[in-house]
Each structure stands twice: as structure tokens, then as C-alpha cells.
Amino acid sequence: MLKDLPLSEHIHQHCNESMERALLAERHPLWARSCPELKDIDFIRLGLLRCISVVDSGRHFLQTNEQIYGQLLPHSTYFKSLKSHRRTSMLEAFEQQSYHLHAETLLLQGIDYLKAFPELDEYTIEAADGHFIDHACHTEKNSKGKVYAAGGIYALNLRSGLLRFLCLVTNGTQRHQEIPVLRDHIEKQNKGNNSSQKHLYVYDKAVTDFVWWDRQKRHANYMISMLKENSIAPLVESIPFDSHHEINTGVEAYSVYENKGIKFNVVDYRDPETGKLHRFVTTLPMTINPGTIAMLYFKRWTIEKTFNNTKSNFKETKAWSSNTRSLENQMRLTAMSYNLMRVFEEISKTQQPELIHPSDKKYSEALEIRQQQAQKRDRFVNPLFFQARISRISSYTIRAVQNAIITGMSLQCFMSSLVARLVSRPQLIGEH
């Protein structure tokens, strides 16, 4: 990071580097075209600015852009660009490179929230889920005179905390059906993916289609989910595991079951704090510890905190348009804006290793209270919950970015303001 630059210029440089990489990644990208009225790099910058700024509509944003940032842009030019097929393809290519740049930055800082699980080093692990917002004002009603929420499926990387948009589910003209859309997206991804990288999706119980996921193992795609209560499958065999290893705390059984001729693994996990039984299903190899599978599903909740950030802080509560390309652009830009914030906050946490973020201190203190209460009942909190976790991006960080862009604050001053919020680690005595 070039710290003497204004924060807004740093973001602009990230956009330039991502665009350069996107152009180099394809031999002759069909989306590469000169557009003097609104350059692609400015289209992206404006999209990020709209997501980051607190505005109610596209017209509100354009007025803000003119009166605060002194940049006049005709309404028709901006709104037509959002619906452009070419720009949608361009933004998809750009988002991939922006994501990779952020991932490299975080890796250089040693940020890996799954480093305690070395058995997962070969896997890209993402918590995926659908996210829906209000439909656009002029969304056409369907044949029954109804409109629905608009939205798509996102994936949160459980190593880095970075977010990416996977696919659009509905623009609001029809009731959403997530899983068929997710399957289509993964199968399309299989055709264009030459990588041997293993990919693990952590999804809610709606994703369990044993036949389909069994086929996906050929493409190195795996899943973890919650076993449906009404699932009927006979037990085939028990899987041996080290019940004394801390990583398998709470695991009561690890077994192979069969449904429609398809075998899959089930983890019976009883929470040592509450005594509640959870049953997780996976297509992962038997060599993966059952406790690791349970913990990954619990980490899935992090994506809900991500959606809370986009709705509460970015105010992305309504579709920009009923046009599907415009919606895809909105969702990609939302993910990219989130990633900018994530990288700023994660890097600020590494500047003084002896200190921690206030949200992490609050979480640690809450865990301590839970531990003490559990011990009174002869129970305990799973020690794996005391490991570092991906936290919700603080509202302070997001407001700081918004203010730094308006005031022209330098990156150095901005980062210093984030580091100044770090606090001493609490003295905990209740860990198991």
C-alpha cells in the first residue's frame, strides 16, 4: 500500500491493477472496448462509490457525485451502462482479478482463519447462501399479479473472509429457487475449470441432493450441510476417529450412511456447552476429522454477518433495477466494496500484534462468560470456539472509509485511525 496517497486514489489504483490483470488473463477479451462517454474503469469506480456511499437511489447517487465530488455524468449514460451486456462481462472478469489481488494481500499478511486445520490446505472453502433484497420499483408483476424479493447467491471464503458473487437467482418477477440455480452455476464452472483445486461448499440443509453431489466428487467439488430431520438412510458402517483429539471435541459418532445407492458421511456432534445434538452430512473423504466438519458448519454463520454489513452499512436493501444484468452488476459491486472494507480492517489488525480489535475483545469476554456459566452446569465451551474467527466488519471501519473518501484523507491517516482503535487482550481464565 502506498500510504501517502489519498484513500480514494488507492482504491483507484487497485481498480487499475485489477483491470490490467483482467485484460492479460484473456487472449482477446470480447468485452474490451473503448467507451469515451464512460470509461470502464470509471464505471467500476462509480459503482464502488455508489455501494460505499449512503444513498437512496441512482439519481441520489448521481446528484451526490456531482455536488460532492464534482463529477457530472448524464443520467442516461449511467443507467444504460448498468444494463450493458458487455460491461457485465467486463465486470465479471474484473471481479475475479480484484478478488485475487485482495487474497494475495491478505496472504502476505499471514491471514488464514483456517490455519488450525492443516488437513484442509488443499481445499478452497466457502460458506455459500442466498441473499435477497427488495425488488426494484418498476419490477413487472407476474401472471398472478405478484412480485418477489430480488437476489442471488454469494460465497464467503472461510480462510480470508473475502466475498464473491456466484449467480443471480431472481430479479423479483418470480419466486426464488436457490438450489437449482446453484447447481447450474457449479456445472457451468466445471466446464471452464482446468484447476485441480478441491472446492468445498458449506451450505444450509436445502443443498442436500446426494446423487448430484456424488457426481460432483469427480470435479473435486464437496459439500457440508446439516442433515435433514426427515432423512431416511440406513447405517452402513462406523468410521474410526481419534475421540481424544481436541479437534474432535463433542463428536459422538462418525458414520457412513446410504441413500438411493449413494454413500455419504454423517457426523453426530453434541455441543459440550448445551448438550444439543447436531447431525452434519458431508461428501468429504473419511480422512477429514469429524470435528473439523462440525466446526466448518458452525463457521457458516459468518456469511449472515456479511449480509448484515451490506444491508445495515452499505444500505443495499433494494435492487437498482429489474434488469438482470444491472442486478448482477449491483451484486458484484457490493461484493467488491465489501472486500475493500475487509482488507482495510484485516490489515489494521496486524499492525500491532499485541493488541486486538474491540469486536474480538467483546467476543472473547462473551466466551468467557459462557464458559463460566457452562462450568456451573459441569459443561464447557468447545475450545475450538476460542480460535480466531472472521468477525463482522465494524461500522466504524465502514464509516471511516466513507468519510475518508469525502474528505480526501490519506491512506496513512486512515489506517492510523483504525489501528488507534485496537485494545489490549482481555485476561481470560475460563478456557477449557
Mean pLDDT, rounded, for 361-373? 95
CB distance 25 to 93 below 8 Å: yes
pLDDT tens-digit readout, 310-323: 999 999 999 999 99
- How much is the pTM? 0.95
The helix/strand/coil state of 267 is strand
C-alpha cell at 392: 463482522
Handedness of CA 378, 302, 126, 108 (dihedral sign): negative
Mean pLDDT, rounded, for 356-369? 95
- Please check the confidence at residue 430 and state whether its pLDDT lies above 60: no
User: Distance between CA 327 and CA 323 in Å, rounded?
Assistant: 6
Which among 382, 388, 314, 400 is positioned nearest to 357, based on CA atoms?
388
Residue type present at position 51: C
Task: Report CA dihedral (327, 329, 331, 332) to the nearest 10 degrees.
Answer: 160
C-alpha cell at 69: 465530488
Handedness of CA 45, 49, 52, 55 (dihedral sign): negative
Higher-pLDDT residue of 75 and 395 is 395
User: Distance between CA 51 and CA 36 in Å, rounded?
Assistant: 23
Residue 72 CB neighbours (<10 A)? 9
- The pLDDT value recorded for residue 333 is 98
Backbone angles phi, psi at 89, to 5 degrees: -65, -40
Which stretches of 194-263 are DSSP H helices?
210-216
Inter-CA distances, 230 with 141, 207, 224, 226, 254, Å: 36, 14, 17, 12, 19
Q: In the chain, what are the helix, strand and coil shares in percent, each to the nearest 5?
A: 45, 15, 35
232 confidence band (pLDDT: 50, 70, 90): confident
- The pLDDT value recorded for residue 3 is 64
Higher-pLDDT residue of 46 and 228 is 46
Which among 81, 73, 79 is positioned nearest to 35, based on CA atoms?
81
pLDDT tens-digit readout, 25-51: 998 999 999 888 899 999 999 999 999
User: Distance between CA 394 and CA 268 in Å, rounded?
Assistant: 34
- Please check the confidence at residue 303 and state whether its pLDDT lies above 90: yes
194 confidence band (pLDDT: 50, 70, 90): low
CB distance 170 to 151 below 8 Å: yes
- The pLDDT value recorded for residue 174 is 87
CB distance 153 to 181 below 8 Å: yes
